[in-house]
Every structure is written in structure tokens, then in C-alpha cells.
């Protein structure tokens, strides 16, 4: 997503902002090739009924409401159904941040201002001083979202959130009896492994391995399977905790 200009609607105040995506995809991309000649495979849209390849201009959106029965929508009809908040981020309420369960969060953006705007600075201070997050609604691309706005290091951080009907949280009952010795050993292990959150030190080992393998392939080397470390099997929880303390 490229940086997009929009505005926060705070009552009758309009605050110009720019969406700045925080996350970039770090995955290595592979192409599908024909094994025989190593040329790339191309995908074409094909109509089985007409027995012909079709172009983008030939396509419309359809919803299958029963087996093999469709209703169709034109681009104009889909555009007409878009909500009023298409061009804005409309604030609807302010809530305590601790009321929001972590699984509601989806994607995050930093909302900066394209120029020194008093309204932006005022709203930022409102978020900081109130210690609350703003609940808002907006549209990104063609999709409608509710989102949360919070003060973050001198900028506004916006996180889109999932709808309640998208959450699938199973009922769990994990309560089981454990001894004081087991708890004490587990707490010692926590203490032994404690530190500070340093995301810069966490590497994507899988992607790192792929990049190394790519370089080795380019150099004509053979890729061999790396040996996995075998973890010893422990008979009981106390022994497992004690051994964990010895090796950590």
C-alpha cells in the first residue's frame, strides 16, 4: 500500500494525515517454472462454458446464492455501496486501552501530518493526556474497517481491528493441579530466561536460511538437510523443569 492522504474527522474538526504502513513483507518470493525448460508459468483466465481465454474487461463480480445460481454486480454498483467514511477516519468514541483484547488487532499504520497542523498536534495531546484510544471507522482501498488511534512516540498510531464475528475463540479449560515445587521451579526458569524486549535481535531464521541457500545455489553448491537437535524425553514435569534450569 502506497502512502495515502486522508483526514481524521474529530467532531467538526478535520485533521489532514498521511497513512504510513509500518510492516513490509520480508518473505522471499519464488516463481513457478516449467520443469523441462525452466521458463515461467503464466496464468490465464479461462471460461469453461465458452471454451475461451477472457480478459479483465470481460469480468464482473458474482455471488453464488445457491448451487450454480449467481447474482452479479457492476463496478459502479459496488462503488455505490461504499460507506460515507471513504475519504476520512471518523472518530466515534474514546475507550480505555486495557479494554481491548490483543486478538482484535490486525494491521497498523503511523498517521503523520503532511504539514505542521495545529489540529494534529491538539489531537495528539488529547490522546496522550486522556490516556485513551480513539475508536474510528474508515475505508482502506475498498474494505470498511473499525480502527483504533493512539499516541505513539509523537505520532498517531492507527490499528485496524477485526469485527466480533471474525473472532473464533474456543472455550478452554486448562486448569489442572500442580505442586508448589513445580511452580517454584517454573518461576525460577522464568527468572533465568528474563530480559528486555529487543526486536532488533530477533531474526527470521527461516528466511535467513532461504537467502543463504539461494546464494549457495548460485555458486553451484548442493543444499543438504541440516541436522536437528534432539531434545531428551523427560518422564515427569519436575525432572523436565530441573533439566531446563541446567541447560538454559
Residue recorded with cell 480502527: 147
Higher per-residue pLDDT: 243 or 231: 243
pTM value? 0.77
Residue recorded with cell 522464568: 190
- Which phi and psi angles does 82 have, rounded to 5°? -65, 150
Mean per-residue pLDDT, 84-102: 86
SS3 69: strand
Contact present, 241 and 189 (Cβ < 8 Å): yes
> Helices 180-193 and 237-247 sit at what angle, rounded to 10 degrees?
20
Confidence of residue 205 (pLDDT cuts 50, 70, 90): confident
Amino acid at each position: 500500500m502506497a502512502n495515502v492522504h486522508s483526514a481524521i474527522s474529530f467532531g467538526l474538526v478535520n485533521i489532514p494525515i498521511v497513512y504510513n504502513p509500518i510492516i513490509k513483507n520480508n518473505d522471499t518470493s519464488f516463481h513457478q517454472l516449467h520443469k523441462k525448460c525452466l521458463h515461467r508459468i503464466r496464468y490465464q483466465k479461462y471460461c469453461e462454458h465458452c471454451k475461451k481465454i477472457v480478459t479483465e474487461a470481460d469480468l464482473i463480480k458474482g455471488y453464488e446464492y445457491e448451487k450454480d445460481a449467481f447474482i452479479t454486480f457492476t463496478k459502479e454498483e459496488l462503488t455505490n455501496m461504499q460507506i460515507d467514511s471513504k475519504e476520512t477516519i471518523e472518530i466515534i468514541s474514546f475507550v480505555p486501552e486495557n479494554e481491548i483484547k490483543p486478538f482484535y488487532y490486525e494491521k497498523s499504520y503511523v498517521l503523520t501530518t503532511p504539514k505542521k497542523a495545529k489540529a494534529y498536534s491538539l489531537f495528539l495531546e488529547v490522546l496522550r493526556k486522556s490516556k485513551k484510544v480513539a475508536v474510528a471507522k474508515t475505508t482502506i482501498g475498498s474494505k470498511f474497517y473499525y480502527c483504533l488511534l493512539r499516541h505513539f512516540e509523537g505520532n498517531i498510531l492507527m490499528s485496524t481491528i477485526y469485527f466480533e464475528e471474525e473472532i473464533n475463540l474456543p472455550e478452554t479449560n486448562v486448569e489442572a493441579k500442580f505442586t508448589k515445587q513445580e511452580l517454584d521451579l517454573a518461576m525460577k526458569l522464568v527468572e533465568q530466561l528474563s530480559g528486555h524486549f529487543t526486536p532488533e535481535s530477533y531474526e527470521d531464521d527461516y528466511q535467513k536460511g532461504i537467502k543463504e541457500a539461494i546464494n549457495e545455489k548460485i555458486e553451484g553448491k548442493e543444499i543438504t538437510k541440516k541436522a536437528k537437535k534432539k531434545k531428551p524425553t523427560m518422564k515427569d514435569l519436575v525432572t523436565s523443569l530441573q533439566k531446563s534450569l541446567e541447560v538454559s
